[in-house]
Amino acid sequence: MKREKIIQKIEEYKAIMPSFVLEYYQSKLAVPYSLSTLFEYFKEYQRFFSWMIDEGISEADKISEISLDTLEHLRKSDVERYITHLREGTLQNTFASQRGLSQATINRTITSLSSLFKYLTEEVEGLDGEPYFYRNVMKKVSTRKKSETLAARAENIKPKLFLGDETAEYLNYIDEHYEHTLNSKTRARTAFLKNKERDLALNAIILASGIRLSEAVNINVGDLNLRTRRVEVTRKGGKRDSVNIASFGIPYLERYLEVRKAKYNPEKTQKALFLTNFKGQSNRIDASSVEKMVGKYSQAFKIKVSPHKLRHTLATRLYAETNSQVLVSHQLGHASTQVTDLYTHIVDEEQRNALDKL
């Protein structure tokens, strides 16, 4: 979804939300949470609050009238009943036609509600300097992780990674071959030629640094230092980090910077590195556009993947080269090495395949 559309939708949600949710929203903007994350959280809050009214848990007539007292005295059994409704697809009224949600989606629902309750019980300051209330029912609600071993997950992910020479082959495909798959007189070809350098730079910086999609689209021109081959990004939780870029990505970034001003005509106040044009105005490219762009190129090259798989590609290649989970976790911006266990399984499989060829 375009950034402008997300902002519009957020404004629509803000108009129907209780005041404490609006306070939460302002607080998280300062962290900062991404607009897409806050948009998804608003959707979850609307669904949950609507269910509370339908079930008679809240006596409010509309969402904006739901009280803090209702949330303070919400029972664990109520939240568990809501989760069951989501899983079994038995929500009434507005959600009667909705089918049961996946466990991954339900986990995201719990995460969004946990974030709100943590804010209300720990982070916010009322007039007396204290949180609005202290009883956090969401601390009693657990999530169930998807039942899948790291080895199984590695096996599923591996075909979607551009390992070894495929990283360079993928970028070269976009650079020299993708144009030939398009009709010479189509609008798609015109758009590709205009945005070719930008698209290559975006693919290259994720493949060469492993930064997240949200981190990539939020890069400003001043955050990039090609001389030192580093880029400053805002990690989850609002922490700033300086990330190394592999040398193979630098030429693509240089090429884009050479044409950025001429092709996108940005205002002097436009700080965003990666731009798009809309109605004659240069704007920061949004995450959904990059998702579609990466999907388009990767599908034409080999298999449709997301920008997150490009991040996995960098992590796997870096681990194969260094055999260090610590280095990989630092490169990806993880607080611990636990998340990087996945890459050891992917590389182990690569090594086994290599042995079979001896």
Taking CA atoms, 85 is separated from 70, 91, 98, 211, in Å, by 20, 5, 10, 36
3-class secondary-structure state, position 276: strand
3-class secondary-structure state, position 80: helix
- Looking at 85, 309, 311, 317, which residue is catalytic? 311
Q: Are 318 and 173 in contact (CB under 8 A)?
A: no
Euclidean distance between CA atoms 276 and 290, whole angstroms: 11
256-275 per-residue burial string, b: 16 or more CB within 10 A, e: under 16: beeebeebbebeeebebbbb
Q: What is the pLDDT of residue 144?
A: 65
pTM of the entire predicted model? 0.69
- Looking at 158, 236, 284, 304, which residue is catalytic? 236
Euclidean distance between CA atoms 63 and 322, whole angstroms: 53
* Through-space distance between the first and last CA atoms of the chain, rounded to whole angstroms: 49
Q: H or E segment at 352?
A: helix 341-356
Q: What is the pLDDT of residue 105?
A: 87
Euclidean distance between CA atoms 30 and 32, whole angstroms: 5
For the question of residue 236 being annotated catalytic, the response is yes
- Looking at 212, 260, 263, 309, which residue is catalytic? 212
Euclidean distance between CA atoms 274 and 28, whole angstroms: 24
For the question of residue 311 being annotated catalytic, the response is yes
Q: What is the pLDDT of residue 97?
A: 43
Q: Are 199 and 297 in contact (CB under 8 A)?
A: yes
3-class secondary-structure state, position 277: strand
What are the phi and psi torsion angles at 240 (to 5°)?
Answer: -85, 140
Taking CA atoms, 104 is separated from 77, 133, 145, in Å, by 21, 29, 8
- Looking at 229, 302, 308, 330, which residue is catalytic? 308
For the question of residue 352 being annotated catalytic, the response is no
Strands 240-244, 224-225: pairing kind? unpaired
Give pLDDT tens digits along the chain (358 positions).
Answer: 677 888 999 999 999 999 999 999 999 988 778 888 899 999 999 999 999 999 999 999 999 999 999 999 999 999 999 999 998 875 444 444 446 788 888 999 999 999 999 999 999 988 888 999 999 999 998 776 656 677 777 778 888 999 989 999 999 999 999 999 998 888 999 999 999 999 999 999 999 999 999 999 999 999 999 999 999 999 877 789 999 999 999 999 999 999 999 999 999 999 999 999 988 899 999 888 999 999 999 999 999 999 999 999 999 999 989 989 999 999 999 878 877 888 888 887 666 655 565 5
Task: Output helix, strand, coil percentages for the chain, rounded to the nearest 5.
Answer: 65, 5, 30
Query: Helices 103-118 and 76-88 sit at what angle, rounded to 10 degrees?
Result: 150
For the question of residue 187 being annotated catalytic, the response is no
Q: Are 112 and 49 in contact (CB under 8 A)?
A: no
Euclidean distance between CA atoms 163 and 176, whole angstroms: 20
Q: Which residues pair with residue 38 across a beta bridge?
A: none
Half-sphere exposure of 160 (CA within 13 A, CB side): 16
- Looking at 264, 297, 343, 345, which residue is catalytic? 343
- For the chain, domains (ranges, CATH) are 3-140 (no CATH), 150-356 (1.10.443.10)
Name the residue among 201, 196, 287 with its Cα closest to residue 5. Answer: 287
Residue type, 180: H
Strands 281-284, 224-225: pairing kind? unpaired
